[in-house]
C-alpha cells in the first residue's frame, strides 16, 4: 500500500493538475447542470424546497423526479456545514442543488455555496443593478469576477482540470434574483 503522499498505483501525472491522478484520463468533467439543459431546450423544470437539515430529504426529492431542490438558507435551519450535507444529498438523488443565500449584501455567501457545490443561487431582496453586479462578481473567477480559486465539491475537489472549472464559471450558474 502506498504512503499517503505517494502516487497510487497506475497513476498518471497531469501537469495541468499539478498532482498525480489515480485515473487513466485525469480530465474528469465538471458536473453538468441538468436544469440549464432542460431550460435551454425549452422544457419545464420541477422543484421543491428544503428548510430542514436532513440530506435524505434532498436525496428522496431527486429520486421522486424533481429537477432541482431549493436549499433555503434564508428561511431554513441551515448553515454552511448543513448546506454541504444537503448538496451531497442532492447529488446522491440526481437532482440539482440550488441555494437561497441568507442575505444579498454578502458576496462571500455566494462564493461559499458555489464552492460547496451549489449549481444555482437564489439571491433574496436583490433590488438594484448594483446589488446584482456585486453578487455576480462573487460567482465568477477573474477577469470577469472576484471569486477566489479554492476548489471544493463544485470542482470535484480539483479532480477536474482547472481550465474546465474556469471555463464553466464564465457561463452563469442558474440565477434567480
Cell of 31: 458536473
Integer Cα distance of 3 and 19 in angstroms: 15
In contact, 159 and 28? CB cutoff 8 Å:
yes
- In the residue annotation, 75 being an active-site residue is answered as yes
| DSSP-assigned beta bridge partners for residue 70 | 49, 98
160, burial (CB in 10 Å: exposed 0-12, middle 13-18, buried 19+):
buried
Contacts (Cβ under 8 Å, ≥6 apart) of 133: none
DSSP 8-class letter at 28 = B
Integer Cα distance of 169 and 140 in angstroms: 6
Residue 95 preceded by cis peptide, ω within 30:
no
Other C-beta atoms closer than 10 Å to the C-beta of 124 total 15
Catalytic residue (choose from 6, 22, 64, 75): 75
Which amino acids are annotated catalytic? 75
Amino acid at each position: 500500500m502506498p504512503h499517503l503522499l505517494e502516487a497510487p498505483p497506475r497513476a498518471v501525472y497531469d501537469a495541468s493538475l499539478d498532482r498525480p491522478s489515480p485515473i487513466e484520463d485525469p480530465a474528469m468533467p465538471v458536473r453538468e447542470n441538468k436544469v440549464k439543459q432542460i431550460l435551454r431546450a425549452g422544457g419545464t423544470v420541477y422543484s421543491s424546497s428544503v428548510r430542514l437539515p436532513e440530506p435524505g430529504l434532498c436525496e428522496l426529492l431527486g429520486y421522486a423526479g424533481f429537477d432541482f431542490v431549493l436549499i433555503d438558507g434564508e428561511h431554513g435551519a441551515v448553515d454552511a456545514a448543513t448546506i454541504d450535507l444537503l448538496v451531497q444529498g442532492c447529488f446522491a438523488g440526481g437532482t440539482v442543488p440550488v441555494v437561497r443565500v441568507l442575505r444579498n449584501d454578502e458576496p462571500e455567501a455566494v462564493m461559499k455555496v458555489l464552492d460547496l457545490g451549489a449549481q444555482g443561487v437564489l439571491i433574496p431582496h436583490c433590488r438594484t443593478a448594483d446589488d446584482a453586479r456585486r453578487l455576480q462578481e462573487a460567482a465568477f473567477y477573474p477577469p470577469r469576477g472576484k471569486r477566489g480559486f479554492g476548489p471544493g465539491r463544485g470542482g470535484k475537489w480539483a479532480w477536474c482540470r482547472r481550465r474546465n472549472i474556469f471555463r464553466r464559471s464564465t457561463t452563469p450558474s442558474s440565477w434567480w434574483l
